[in-house]
């Protein structure tokens, strides 16, 4: 009962009726909570499905985004449970709300697109590790980062994000010419 209240509060934070994005740390906490048990997965889905029926477009959008996030980052059992009960999401695929005075039908279209994304993510192939068992997202990221770190042989120089094909005009101009003319000085001053 106490845990149910905590999840209800977290879901309320994630699905507030405003245009602000959901807090990422709360979404991560919910994703980690899906690893506790199947009952937690079912409870989170039930709470998010209730938010889909609220009738507020912003709440519906945020609930669908939370479902998509939990399918992507949460326990694979969450996806399996979602596959068993897709009726609320299928209803959102054909969502037709009243057009917003400012945004028109774009929010309603966003609900339909997000519902389709949730269905796609829910029925996508489940990722597994080498042994065939599922891993939490936190352990996958740490194992993948250690694999990336061990892939390099020896120390590497620091690399930037700049365009490797870019050569500064002034550097190219001075390195290719040994004398300076007034046209070069005009370029420098500009």
Query: Which residues are CB-contacts of 152 (< 8 A; sequence separation ≥ 6)?
Result: none
pLDDT in tens, 41-51: 999 999 999 99
- Global pTM reads 0.65
40 within 8 A of 3, measured Cβ to Cβ:
yes
**How would residue 128 be classed by pLDDT, with cut points 50, 70 and 90?**
low
Structure tokens at 157: 């120089």
- State the pLDDT at residue 2: 61
Per-residue buried b or exposed e for 100-132, using 16+ beta carbons within 10 Å of the residue's own CB: eeeeeeebbebbbebbebbbebbeeeeeeeeee
pLDDT in tens, 152-161: 444 555 555 5
**Has residue 140 got a pLDDT over 60?**
no
């Amino acid at each position: 009962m106490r845990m149910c209240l905590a999840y209800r509060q977290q879901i309320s934070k994630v699905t507030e009726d405003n245009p602000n994005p959901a807090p990422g740390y709360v979404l991560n906490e919910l994703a980690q909570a899906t690893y506790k048990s199947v009952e937690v997965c079912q409870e989170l889905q039930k709470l998010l499905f209730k938010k889909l029926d609220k009738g507020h477009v912003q709440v519906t959008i945020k609930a669908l985004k939370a479902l998509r996030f939990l399918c992507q980052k949460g326990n694979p059992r969450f996806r399996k449970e979602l596959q068993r009960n897709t009726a609320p999401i299928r209803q959102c695929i054909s969502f037709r709300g009243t057009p917003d005075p400012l945004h028109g039908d774009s929010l309603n279209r966003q609900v339909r697109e997000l519902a389709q994304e949730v269905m796609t993510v829910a029925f996508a192939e489940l990722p597994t590790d080498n042994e065939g068992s599922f891993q939490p997202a936190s352990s996958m990221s740490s194992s993948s980062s250690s694999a990336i770190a061990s892939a390099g042989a020896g120390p590497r120089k620091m690399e930037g994000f700049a365009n490797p094909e870019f050569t500064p005009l002034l550097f190219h101009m001075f390195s290719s010419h040994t004398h300076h003319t007034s046209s070069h000085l005009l370029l420098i001053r500009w």
